Structure 1
Amino acid sequence: MKKIVAISALLLVNSLSAQFKINIDVPAGFNPKEVYLYSLNGSKDILTTKEMRKGNGWQIAVTKPYSGMMKLYFPEGNMSVNFISENKDVKMKFDTANGKISNIDYLDESNFLMNNIQDVQQKKEYILPALVQIKDYYKADTQFRKALDTEISRLSVDAQDISRFPFINYYNTNYAKFVEKNPARKPVTHDEIIDFLVKSNEMLETSSLMRPVLLAYLNVGPSTNVSADVDKLLKAVNTETPRGQTVLSELIEIFDVYEMKDLKNKYLTEATNLKCTINDRLAGTIAINKNTEIGAKFPDYVFNKPTKTSAKSLAAVKADKKVIVFWASTCSHCEAELPKLIEKYNAMKAQKIEVIAFSLDSEKAAYDNKVNNLPWINDSELKGWYSSYADTYNVRATPTYFVLDANNTIIAKPDHAADVISYLKLN
C-alpha cells in the first residue's frame, strides 16, 4: 500500500510540474540563445518564463493550466512567433533567412488547425468579397469562372471540425460573431456584447478578443452618448470584479490611443477611486498614468547606447528644461515633425533646453541612418514596441512628447512638435 501511495504522489508531483511543454526546433544558424514566453491578459502580454537554448532549440515547461494565445519573443533578434495553447503540448520548427524567421511549421494538431483556419479567415474577410464581385464578369463555362466558383465555395463554408478544440472553437465562434467584417451578418447590439462580456469564461482574457469586442461595442450606432453606453457596460461587468477591472483598463487604454481625453480622464478617475481590491492589470494602468501625468516626477531611465552625451541616465542630463521625444524611423508623422524641432534646436540650446529622443526602432541600420541627422541625445533598445520605455512612459503612438523642468518633473505633454515650440516660446 505504501508503495502505491508513493507512486501516486510521484505522479501527482510530475503532473503539477508541467501542464504542457513547448518544443521549438530551429536551424543551427539561428543565433538567439534566449527566448521569452508570454501569455495574454486582455490585450496585454504577460511574461510567463524565460528559457536558454539547448542545442538546436528550446523545450519550455508550462506549469500552470493555460488555454489561449501565447507568444515567443527572441530579444536578441527582436523577433516573435504567435501560437495557441489548448493546454496540450506544442511543437513547432521554423526556417530562417538573413537571420530572420522566414517560415513556421506548426507540428502539433491544435496549432496546425488554427493556422489553417486563420489563413482561410483572412481570405474570407479580404478576398472573398472581391471574388464574388468579379465572378459575374466571366462566363460560367470558362475554366477561370469554375476556379472562382470553387474558391468561393471553399471560403464560404467552414468545413473544419473544431469541436474537439475548446479554445479554437471559442475563438472562431466569437470572432465570427463580434469582430469579423461580414456585410451579410446582422449587426450586434450593445446588449449582445454586454451579455458576452459578462457570461464568457476565462478564455475571454486569453483570446485577444477583448479589445476588438470593446471597440465593436463603442462602434455600435447610432449612439448619442458614448459615456452613458460605457457606464451601462461597466455596471454590467461590475468594476469590483477582476473581469470588470480588466474591461475598465482596456477602455482607458482605448480612449488614450484614440486621444479621447475626456473619456480617458473620467474612467481613469473612476478606476483610481475604487475602494475594492484592484487586480494587477488595472493597478498597472493606474500606476503608468500616475507616473506620467503633469506634476509627476518623470521615471528615470538608464541609457542603453546613447549618442551625443556622456551622461549615464536621463536624470543625469543637466538642463533647465528637457524635451523628451518617443519616435521611430518608420513613423511618417515623426518624419514630418522632427525637422521642426531640428530647426529650433539651436534656440533651445541657447535657453539651456535639451532634447532627449528615444527610438522605438527594431532595425539597427534604419535607426543609425536617422540618428546621424539628429543633433540631440538619442537612445534606443532596438526592440520596437517591446522596448521597456513603451510601458514605463505609457507610449501609445509616435511621436509622443513630454517637457520636464530641471528637476525632471513633467510640466507639459504637448501633442505635436508645433505645441512643443509654442510652449517653449520659440516661435
Structure 2
Amino acid sequence: MKKIFVLSGLMLVFSLKAQFSVTIHAPADFKEQEGILYTLSGSKDIIVTKEQNKNNSWVFKYPKGYSGMMKVYFPNTNNTVSFISENKNVEIKLETQNNKIKNVIYQDEANNLMNNIQEYSQKKELILPALVQIKEYYKDDADFGKALVKEMGNLSGSNIIDQTKHPFVYYYNTNYNKYLSNNAAKKVSTDEIVDFFDKSNDMLESSSLVRPILVAYLNNAGNSNVGSSVDKLLDRLKVETPRGQTVLSELIDIFDVYEMTELKNKYLTLAKNLKCTITDRLATTLKANANVEIGAVFPNYKFHSPVNTVAKTIADVKADKKIVVFWSSTCSHCETELPQLLAKYNELKAKNIQVIGLSLDSDKDSYTKKIIAFPWINDSELKGWNSSYAETYNVHATPSYFILDANNKIISKPDHVGDVLTYLNVK
C-alpha cells in the first residue's frame, strides 16, 4: 500500500506541471501588462489563462495536451498574436512599433514551418498565376526570364510535411488544400465533406477549419437543398455527441450571419430541445441567443467611456424606448444607414426615444472622428470584435439594431435602419 501511495503522489506532482508552455517576448517599449491565452473550439475562442508581463515576457503554462490553433490577446493595446501548438513548447518574439505588433518571429520548429507554408501557399495562389502571364513577355534565356522560370518552378512544387513529426501542421494543410484551396484539383462532394466531419480526429475542433468547410458544404448543397443537407450531416454525426453539438452550434451562427432566419430558428429549436448533456460550445450559443430573444430583458452593460450622457449603464438611460445599434467606423453599411438615423434623430428625441451606439472599433482616432457627427450616446471598448458585447448580444455583423421598451425589454430586432424608423413611425 505504501508503494501505491508514493506512486500516486508522484503522479499528482507530474499532473500539476505544465504539459507545455507558451513564451512571448516583446521589446521594452511595448506598453502592455496583461496577456490572455486562448484555445479554439470550432470558431469559438476559449480563455485558458491570463499572465502578467515579467521582464518584457509572458509565460503561459498549459496543463494538458493540445494540438491546434491558439492565440494571445493583449487587451490594453488591442494586439493579437496567433500561432499553433503541437503539444510542445512555443516561443515567439514580437517586433513592435507605437504599441502595435509589426512582425512576429516564430522561434519554435512547428510554428516556423506553419508560417513558411502559409506564406508559400499565398504566393502559390496569388502570385503564380500572375507570373505565368508575365512569362509570355520574356524569353527563357533572358536574365529575368530565367528568374521567372526558377520562381515558377519553386511555386509549382508542393511542401512535404512529415505527419509523424508535425501532425497538426500536416492535418491543417492537407485538409485546407483539399476542401478550401482555390487551386483544389476538383470540387469535393457533399458526401466527402460529411465523411470528413464524421471521421476526422479531435484536431478538427481546434483547427479553425470547421466553419469555412461547413460554409463550403452548404454552398455545394445549393440553396434549395440546404435544410436536407444539414439534416443529413447532423443525422450522421448525432447531435447528442460533442462533434454533433459543435457542428450544430456553428450552423446556428452561420444561419444567423447570413440572415437565414427560418433555418436558424429550426436548428436553434433543435438545440433547445436536446435532453442530453450540453457541451460548453453549444451552451454558449444558446445563452447568447437567449440574451436577445424578443421579450427578453436586454442584458445590462456598464459603459466604458461614454459620450453624450451621464448614465453609467444602458439600464440607467431613461426613455420610453431605446435604439441600441452596434456599428463600426469601418463598416460600409454603417456609412449608409447611420446618416438616415441621424436625419430622424430630432423626431426620435421628441418621442423620448434614445439612441445608444456601441462601436466595434479598435482604432481610437477613427472612432473619435466619426462620433463627432452623432449626437446620441456613444461608447466603445476599442477592442473590435474582441469587445465583450459582441458575444453577450450575439452580434455577428454591423450594423445590428435592437429596440427596447422603457423596462429594457427587447421589443424588436430590425434588420435595417428603414425597419427601425418604420417600427417607430418616424419614416
For normalisation by structure 2, the TM-score amounts to 0.96
Q: In structure 1, what is the equivalent of residue 39 of structure 2?
A: 39
Q: In structure 1, what is the equivalent of residue 319 of structure 2?
A: 319
1:175 partner amino acid: Y
Distance 1:25 1:355 in 2: 43
1:402 partner amino acid: F
**2:161–2:170 CA contact under 8 A, matched in 1:** no
1:98 Cα deviation after fit = 1.5
Matches within 5 A, 1:25-36: 25-36=25-36
Structure 2: which 5+ runs fail to align? Answer: none
2:158 partner amino acid: D
Secondary structure at the counterpart of residue 192 of structure 1: helix
Distance 1:348 1:11 in 2: 66
Distance 1:308 1:122 in 2: 46
Q: In structure 2, what is the equivalent of residue 134 of structure 1?
A: 134
| Aligned-pair identity (%) | 61
Structure 1: which 5+ runs fail to align? Answer: none
Q: In structure 1, what is the equivalent of residue 356 of structure 2?
A: 356
Output the aligned Cα RMSD.
1.8
2:360 partner amino acid: L
For normalisation by structure 1, the TM-score amounts to 0.96
Secondary structure at the counterpart of residue 385 of structure 1: helix
Distance 2:18 2:413 in 1: 47
Give the 3 Å change call, closer, same or farther, for CA 148–11 of structure 1 in structure 2: farther
Q: In structure 2, what is the equivalent of residue 373 of structure 1?
A: 373
2:276 partner amino acid: C
1:23 Cα deviation after fit = 1.2
Q: In structure 2, what is the equivalent of residue 170 of structure 1?
A: 171
Matches within 5 A, 1:226-241: 226-241=226-241
1:423 Cα deviation after fit = 0.9
Distance 2:159 2:293 in 1: 52
Larger mean CA deviation between 92-101 and 237-246 belongs to 92-101
2:340 partner amino acid: K
Larger mean CA deviation between 67-76 and 16-25 belongs to 16-25
Secondary structure at the counterpart of residue 220 of structure 1: helix
Q: In structure 1, what is the equivalent of residue 102 of structure 2?
A: 102
For residues 183-202 of structure 1, the C-alpha deviation after alignment (integer angstroms, 9 at most, x for no partner) is 5x111011111111001111
Give the 3 Å change call, closer, same or farther, for CA 159–303 of structure 1 in structure 2: closer
Give the 3 Å change call, closer, same or farther, for CA 419–8 of structure 1 in structure 2: closer
Secondary structure at the counterpart of residue 305 of structure 1: coil
Distance 2:212 2:149 in 1: 32
1:220 Cα deviation after fit = 1.2
1:14 Cα deviation after fit = 3.5
1:71 Cα deviation after fit = 0.2
Q: In structure 1, what is the equivalent of residue 145 of structure 2?
A: 145
Distance 1:93 1:358 in 2: 34
Larger mean CA deviation between 73-82 and 303-312 belongs to 303-312
Give the 3 Å change call, closer, same or farther, for CA 332–224 of structure 1 in structure 2: closer
For residues 163-219 of structure 1, the C-alpha deviation after alignment (integer angstroms, 9 at most, x for no partner) is 310110111111111111115x11101111111100111100000011111111111
Matches within 5 A, 1:14-413: 14=14, 16-163=16-163, 164-182=165-183, 185-220=185-220, 224-413=224-413
Size of the aligned set, in residue pairs, is 426
For residues 352-390 of structure 1, the C-alpha deviation after alignment (integer angstroms, 9 at most, x for no partner) is 000011011111111111112110011111111000000
For residues 40-78 of structure 1, the C-alpha deviation after alignment (integer angstroms, 9 at most, x for no partner) is 000110001000111121111111211100001000000
Secondary structure at the counterpart of residue 243 of structure 1: helix
Distance 1:394 1:64 in 2: 30
2:209 partner amino acid: L
Distance 2:225 2:364 in 1: 46
Distance 1:103 1:112 in 2: 13
Distance 1:88 1:325 in 2: 44
1:12 Cα deviation after fit = 5.9
1:267 partner amino acid: Y
Distance 2:147 2:234 in 1: 49
Secondary structure at the counterpart of residue 213 of structure 1: helix
Secondary structure at the counterpart of residue 91 of structure 1: strand
Distance 2:300 2:173 in 1: 43
Distance 2:316 2:139 in 1: 73
